Structure 1
């Protein structure tokens, strides 16, 4: 499960998103695609961060749905992987492209399942995160439906994937959650950020 969940870790996804922006500039004739992609990925990160700060700093969540903010792993992976596999397989036969796209949508689902298995999130947080990410990636792909990225040679593909593969092999985890906890407490002027236990204690 830890391997699956790493497919949604910011340590892997943020550098990969930057590489994708460079590849879109290089391999796509639509020059707006870079900005569309940065907007989509940035929106996912912003919405996730705002939801977490709202809870961690101000206790804004849902007791009924056990909701403390969007699952970042689910949202960010659902934004990135469908677009990345579309980009890398743009010049393959239709069947291969469809299979790659289906894989791009499947990976985030497995990430979400891993977050539940690791007890890192509630079902509402994973489902909302997936819906957010899938909406953004699908909006990007619909906007690009008339475009097909140029193909990659094996050497180009190896270079493009070098950094993501190295990051995955090292398995270093981002400290985004800890940063948001400190930031939220400072913004709210409290000593300790809110926790899930604090939220659920409101039921009593």
Structure 2
């Protein structure tokens, strides 16, 4: 598996449809009616905080040259928010040992995504660490809030259907244009001809 394939596990083109699938499945599989709202709050808050941090830099140059920070790594933050919850949902009726193992995989995937962002020079270490901290905080808070929630089990067919869209998106390989949109939006919002860049941070 290449680093760019691995980094796709944090791409919005994959994560947003998967987050929608989770939101659609939760009312069916959870005995807690608030679970889906907690999930939408966690995932939406991750996206909002990441977007605001990027807009602050791209539009207004607010960052840190000392820490080489231009905003949260979206791939790291969003994957750290989603994958632990996805694995928790799939393993809902398994034995405790298998559940812990499966959710653990959900925490490892974002770490690998974050490392891939460093390898391909998409982000600095501070941006990846901040993104992971944000995402893991939100996903962990969600999971802690669901300690008393009972989940219905998944059949093999149901798991396959739930994973069908993510697998198809990964095979297609199309990446989201979120960064380009934020660059245009930030520049327009600040009245700039072009957004700030990392090079501007060190001038």
TM-score range (shorter-chain normalised) is over 0.9
**1:57 equivalent among 56, 59, 68:** 59
The counterpart of 1:127, out of the listed 126, 129, 151, is 129
Give the 5 Å matches for 1:156-167. 156-167=158-169
Name the CA distance, whole Å, in 2 between partners of 1:115 and 1:200: 21
2:142 to 140, 145, 158: 140
Cα deviations by residue, 1:135-169 (Å, 9 ceiling, x for unpaired): 00000000001113110111111111111110011
Q: Which residue of 2 aligns with 1:10?
A: 12
Mapped to 1, the partners of 2:49 and 2:119 lie a distance apart of 24
What TM-score do you get using the length of structure 2 for normalisation?
A: 0.98
Report Cα offsets for 1:16-72 as digits up to 9, x if no partner: 000000111110000100000000000000000000000000000001000000000
Aligned mate of 2:90, from 67, 88, 91:
88
> Which residue number corresponds to residue 119 of structure 2?
117
Pairing 1:190-201 to 2, within 5 Å after superposition = 190-201=192-203
Instruction: Report whether the alignment pairs 1:26 with 2:37.
Output: no
Equivalence for 2:177: 175
Detail structure 1 runs of 4+ shifted over 4 Å in the superposition: none
Following superposition, the deviation at residue 200 of structure 1 comes to 1.3
Q: Name structure 1 gaps, 5 residues minimum.
A: none
TM-score by length of 1: 0.97
Query: Which consecutive unaligned segments of at least 5 residues does structure 2 have?
Result: none
2:37 aligns to what? 35
Find the counterpart in structure 1 of residue 81 from structure 2.
Answer: 79
Q: What is the aligned residue count?
A: 201
SS of 1:7 mapped into structure 2:
helix
